[in-house]
Chains A and B, each alone.
Chain A
Amino acid sequence: MGAKNSHLNSCVIIGANQAGVSIAFALREKGWKGDITLFDMDPELPYYRPPLSKSVLIGSESLGDHALKPIHLYKKENITLKLGHKVTSIDRISKQIFLDNGSFYKYDILVLAMGGRPIIPNIPGLKNSESIFTIRTSRDTIAIRNTLDKSEKRRALIIGAGYIGLETAASLIKLKANVTVLEKEERVLSRVTAPHLSNFYEFLHKRNGVEIFTNKEVIEVRSNSSDKEVICSDGSSYFADLIIVGIGIHANKELAEETGLEVKNGVVVNDEARTIDKNVFAIGDCAFQYHSFYRRYVRLESIQNANDQAEIAASVICKQEVSNHSIPWFWSDQYDVKLQIIGLSEGANDIIIRQENNNKKKFSIWYFQDNKLLAVQAVNDMKAYVIGTKFIKENTPLDKSKLRDPDVELKPTNLKFM
């Protein structure tokens, strides 16, 4: 047992994906000597999710290429994986968790890394119907491919034009599917980006053969033996062989709520990833965290956030120095277009679009709150991404008129406000 946490024997982690696996290994690295047990209802060796809508869906890479860690490393670090088990309740008084098979485990430290589950709206005909999918697990991706391959007409309809919906559309086009996307809002990616980027992506997808319709609220799905009919509130309807719902996730917070922990949009934790119970932490997609950089509560859904919070919680648990939150970053690959995002754009009141000369597909969108740079979304523009990162991190003022001018080369020294 480690000197600093010698009274602690057992760390139990609910959820063995990005956040859970990260913290398990981070704990060992930081000197946790007690047991570490990871529970997940997914029976697969924990895998990396981003390729599920990209390379793994296309088939250019296999799931096996994307295990988070090979099995021998769990053994080497003495981390126990309990896969195919659902945790059904937590008792914080006796410090135990209970499984669906009736067994229970004691913990000294409990980490909630339960992620989220896709939202399936309450639309008649949508739930419990065959050939309706979401994309969260490897099973989902495999099932989509199999269903597509079995259908003659290869008609896929995607409800929701967020990142996952659009990435899926791009991948299905590569699989020679006939793809339709229906979005309720007036533009794609409306929750996460400025209209300029929405227009760019809408055009990109249309040019690649995707049919995108906005302002389409789905109100009913009718299934018959040969196909499915998706009916919208304006009376229009679309036919498909398979339907994929990509309208976001609900945080898995019920176990926390039932045991009396504070929950809002996710499990509420402080900047050290700790809940109101000092022995219980929450990290990753399920956590509604106080973010030390933005000084407010946020729930983020990204690889970087899962890893970052795992690192912070592991440091706290091992009583080591805790680093500050990183600035959130995210990426999305669709066709040959690479989008990279640094920062959170909420709260912006000034937006600058910088279009590079001679390349329509290379531009960046800079989000400001007055003169403070909050976020940059860079399309095929790595320079904008790294410079944006630097300016946000250092909180240095930026000369907006130079930023706007494509004849001024994108370089930190050129953009500094003199």
Chain B
Amino acid sequence: MAKINYVTLDNKKITLEGNSGSLMKLAKDNGVKGIDGECGGVCSCATCHVHVNPEHMDKAGEASEFEKDLLELNDHSNEYSRLCCQIQISDDLDGIELKVAERD
């Protein structure tokens, strides 16, 4: 069980608990605004873009080349950017904070 903190664009903090599945799915199932997951989590759309709290970057792990490339030219991307469909929930994520990124 991991506690995941999402911060929406209007600065609302939503804390959810999850066991498995991706961070995108958890957000969608709970109506976190701004996480749309249009491609269903296959790293094709970037509608699940978040900024990970800088202190929690190591929890999130390394992004694949594909994911990095998809974010490279995104106007709202920075060094803390991740596509949250590419992060699977595990206990290691407990306490992670993710800010929903603005859409291009």
A residues contacting B by CB (< 8 A) are: 29, 48, 50-51, 65-66, 69-70, 73, 76-77, 303-304, 307, 329, 331, 333, 338, 340, 382-383, 385-387, 389-390, 412
Q: Given A50-B40, A304-B38, A307-B36, A382 and B70 touching (CB < 8 A)?
A: yes
Q: Given A387-B73, A390-B73, A48 and B40 touching (CB < 8 A)?
A: yes
Q: Given A70-B29, A76-B31, A333 and B42 touching (CB < 8 A)?
A: yes
Q: Which of B62-104 contact A (CB under 8 A)?
A: 65-66, 69-70, 72-74
User: Which residue of chain B is the closest to A76 with respect to CB atoms?
Assistant: B31
Complex alpha-carbon distance, A31 and B85, angstroms: 28
Report chain B residues within 8 Å CB of A69. Answer: 28, 31
Q: Could you list some 11 contacts between A and B, CB below 8 A? A: A29-B33, A66-B40, A73-B30, A303-B38, A304-B38, A307-B36, A307-B38, A331-B42, A340-B44, A382-B65, A387-B73
**Secondary structure of the B contact surface, majority rule:** loop
B73-A412 in contact (CB<8A):
yes
B44-A331 in contact (CB<8A):
yes
B residues contacting A by CB (< 8 A) are: 21, 25, 28-31, 33, 36, 38-40, 42, 44-45, 65-66, 69-70, 72-74
B69-A382 in contact (CB<8A):
yes
**Secondary structure of the A contact surface, majority rule:** helix
B69-A383 in contact (CB<8A):
yes
Complex alpha-carbon distance, A19 and B40, angstroms: 15
Contacting residue for A382 out of B28, B29, B66, CB 8 A: B66
Q: Given A386-B73, A390-B73, A51 and B40 touching (CB < 8 A)?
A: yes
Shortest distance in angstroms between A366's beta carbon and chain B's nearest beta carbon? Answer: 16
B44-A338 in contact (CB<8A):
yes
Report chain A residues within 8 Å CB of B73. Answer: 386-387, 389-390, 412
Complex alpha-carbon distance, A304 and B47, angstroms: 10
Shortest distance in angstroms between A238's beta carbon and chain B's nearest beta carbon? Answer: 32
- Contacts A303-B39, A329-B45 known; 9 new A-B pairs at CB < 8 A: A50-B39, A69-B28, A77-B31, A331-B42, A331-B45, A338-B42, A382-B66, A386-B70, A412-B73
